[in-house]
Structure 1
Amino acid sequence: MPLSRVTDVVAGLVPTDPLRRKLIAIRLAESIGKGVFLSGSVVYFTLRVGLDARQVGLGLSAAGLSAFLSSVLFGVIADRVGARRLLVILFATLAVGFGFYSLVDSATAFFALVVTVGFLEYGTGPTNGALIGNLVPAEERVKLKAMMRSVFNIGFSIGIGVAAVAALSQRLLVLIPLTTAALMAGAALLVTRLPDVPPRPAPVGFKRFAAVRDPRFLAVIGVSTILASHVSIILVTMPLWALNRTDLPHFLIPLLLIINTAFVILFQVRASRGADTVHGAGRLARRSGYWLAGGCAVLAVTALDDNVVLASVAIVAAVLILSVAEVMQAASGWGLAFGLAPEHAQGEYLGAFDLHVITQNIIGPAALSGLVIAFGFWGWLGIAVAGLVASALIIPAANRSAVTLVRETASASTT
Structure 2
Amino acid sequence: MPIATLLSRVIPPDALRRKLIAIRLAESIGKGVFISGSVVYFTLHVGLSAGQVGLGLSAAGFSGLVSSVVFGMVADRMSRRKLLCALFLTLAAGFGLYSLVDTAGAFFALVMCVGFVEYGTSPTMSALMGTLVPPDERVRLKAMMRSVFNIGFSVGIGVAAAAALSPRLLVVIPLTTAALMVVAAVLVTRLPEGERKTIPSGLAKFAAVRDLPFLGVIGVSAVLASHVTIVLVTLPLWALSRTSVPHFVVPLLLIFNTVFVILFQVRASKGAETVAGACRTARRSGFWLAGGCLVIALTALTSNMVVVTVAIVAAVLVLSTAEIMQSASAWGLGFGLAPEHAQGEYLGAFDLHVITQNIAGPAVLSGVVIAFGLWGWVAVAVVVLVAATVITPVARNSERRLVAQQPELATV
Q: TM > 0.5 between the two?
A: yes
Amino acid at match of 1:294: G
Amino acid at match of 2:340: E
Runs of 4+ in 1 over 4 A off after TM superposition: none
Question: How many angstroms does 1:279 deviate by?
Answer: 0.4
**In 1, Cα distance between equivalents of 2:199 and 2:135:** 18
Alignment correspondent of 1:81: 78
Does residue 14 in structure 1 map to residue 11 in structure 2? yes
Amino acid at match of 1:172: L
Residues 82 and 198 in structure 1, CA contact (< 8 A), matched pair in contact too: no
Does residue 104 in structure 1 map to residue 97 in structure 2? no
**In 1, Cα distance between equivalents of 2:21 and 2:144:** 8
Report the secondary structure of 1:66's partner residue.
helix
Alignment correspondent of 2:353: 356
**In 2, Cα distance between equivalents of 1:109 and 1:203:** 42
Alignment correspondent of 1:39: 36
Amino acid at match of 2:67: S
Alignment map for 1:230-249 (pairs within 5 Å):
230-249=227-246
1:26-66 Cα offsets, whole Å, 9 max, x none, are 00000000000000000000000000111101100100000
**In 1, Cα distance between equivalents of 2:401 and 2:118:** 31
Structure 2, gaps ≥5 residues long: none
Aligned residues: 412
Alignment correspondent of 2:140: 143
**In 1, Cα distance between equivalents of 2:398 and 2:321:** 26
Alignment correspondent of 2:171: 174
Does residue 115 in structure 1 map to residue 112 in structure 2? yes
Residues 217 and 391 in structure 2, CA contact (< 8 A), matched pair in contact too: yes
Alignment correspondent of 1:389: 386
Alignment correspondent of 2:329: 332
Residues 204 and 413 in structure 1, CA contact (< 8 A), matched pair in contact too: no
Structure 1, gaps ≥5 residues long: none
Does residue 209 in structure 1 map to residue 206 in structure 2? yes
- Candidates 223, 226, 230, aligned match of 2:220: 223
Question: How many angstroms does 1:207 deviate by?
Answer: 2.2
Residues 299 and 380 in structure 1, CA contact (< 8 A), matched pair in contact too: yes
Alignment map for 1:404-415 (pairs within 5 Å):
404-415=401-412
1:230-252 Cα offsets, whole Å, 9 max, x none, are 00000000000000000100000
Amino acid at match of 2:40: V
Alignment correspondent of 1:187: 184
**In 1, Cα distance between equivalents of 2:26 and 2:81:** 16
Amino acid at match of 1:217: F
The two structures, once aligned, show a CA RMSD in angstroms of 0.8
Residues 233 and 368 in structure 1, CA contact (< 8 A), matched pair in contact too: yes
**In 2, Cα distance between equivalents of 1:185 and 1:275:** 33
Alignment correspondent of 1:254: 251
**In 1, Cα distance between equivalents of 2:237 and 2:225:** 18
Amino acid at match of 2:222: T
Does residue 158 in structure 1 map to residue 155 in structure 2? yes
Alignment correspondent of 2:53: 56
Question: How many angstroms does 1:12 deviate by?
Answer: 2.5
Question: How many angstroms does 1:168 deviate by?
Answer: 0.4
1:259-311 Cα offsets, whole Å, 9 max, x none, are 10000000000000010100000110000000000000100000111111111
Report the secondary structure of 2:10's partner residue.
coil
- Give % identity: 69
Question: How many angstroms does 1:198 deviate by?
Answer: 4.8
**In 2, Cα distance between equivalents of 1:106 and 1:232:** 31
